[in-house]
Homo-oligomer: A and B are copies of this chain.
Amino acid sequence: MKVKVTRKEHFNAAHRLFNPMWTDEKNTEVFGKCSNPHYHGHNYEMEVSLIGEPDPETGYLFDLKILSDLIREHILNAFDHKNLNLDTVYFKNLNPTAENIVVVIWQILRQHIDNKYELKIKLYETERNIVEYPAH
């Protein structure tokens, strides 16, 4: 009787898509206006989902207030109102595409959530561009 619970949070950040091994021309060719050297930004919406068996005493799978606090402490404090390329350790050597951001968020939260829960992340870079990890 496994249930999935999801908490939605958001952060606002600047970023730039860029591969330092490439010339500026190649970066512009591949990433277009997303490679603007002065950065652009997004309101990122994030859904953090846990899968497991609810506790019969509480009727909760996981207290969503505690999940919200974990997201605030480990993700929002690091990413909200930040420049992802310059202000975080995660994207010093990793291109902050939505695909890479969603995997990084999963890797960070995985350390703080008991392995009896399956963990999934969905990230909206815009209303029309969305990534999920893991895929299934």
Residues of A whose CB lies within 8 Å of any CB of B are 1-10, 12-15, 17, 19, 21, 30-34, 36, 38-43, 47, 51-52, 54, 57-61, 63-65, 80-83, 86-87, 94-100, 102-103, 118, 126-136
Contacting pair B30 A58 (CB below 8 A): yes
Contacting pair A129 B14 (CB below 8 A): no
In the complex, chain B residues whose CB is within 8 Å of the CB of A12: 40-42, 126
In the complex, chain B residues whose CB is within 8 Å of the CB of A52: 135
Contacting pair A99 B39 (CB below 8 A): no
Closest CB of chain B to A28's CB: distance in Å? 12
CA A42 to CA B130, docked complex, whole Å: 16
Contacting pair B7 A99 (CB below 8 A): no
Contacting pair A95 B59 (CB below 8 A): yes
